[in-house]
Structure 1
């Protein structure tokens, strides 16, 4: 059986001090996602689904079409990288989710995004 998920997903996150207001419980983070197509046919990212959890276990769910206004087509061996952001009420939190993808041959599949942390550096000490 062929690989059911030919998309490798890497994530880097960073705290954005200049866009945050800790005194107002506003902590802004940027995250950069790189998707690599490890399969043998092109794939398109159709939809995103995020679960964002802050340090108080408040959950925001975000679903929508594409990412940063695009539904990128990723050829075999190619990558697509984008940066977006999230705002939470605490200095630490997590994000996880998935992308709904479709292959050139019309097969839809889910590419899971492993949980990653959102953390203001000083909050980790």
Structure 2
């Protein structure tokens, strides 16, 4: 599992795993656009169900630019994850530099309030270098 998901962090019994892939076919180097897909797996190791309510991302590029993304759910869903189960989704991120990084947190709720934050591990966005 560690090879496919090289980035992982556990908060309060919930593990977030991340893998990232550079997509050259969706990138335009001459147009200063690089694109990555990232796969997130949310594992519930608690004794009760959880629900993902919101996402909060900090996306940085190689020039030091920072973009924050806040929104409800992930890819249009606010999944409920039963104990011992996982939820996977894939999304993408464009940058105007060939490298950067992402990190953030999900806001979750258990069987009873209050809501709590679950960290998403920091992971790099790196386009392969092309030697002339």
TM exceeding 0.5: yes
Matches within 5 A, 1:1-125: 5-122=12-129
| Off by >3 Å, runs of 4+ in structure 1 | none
String of CA shifts for 1:74-107, please: whole Å, max 9, x gaps: 0010000000011011111100000000001233
Corresponding residue SS for 2:113? coil
Asked if the contact 1:5/1:109 (under 8 Å) is kept, the reply is: no
Q: Using the TM superposition, give the Cα deviation of residue 6 of structure 1 relative to its aligned residue in structure 2, in angstroms.
A: 2.1
Gaps of 5+ in 2: 1-10
Corresponding residue SS for 1:99? strand
Asked if the contact 1:99/1:113 (under 8 Å) is kept, the reply is: yes
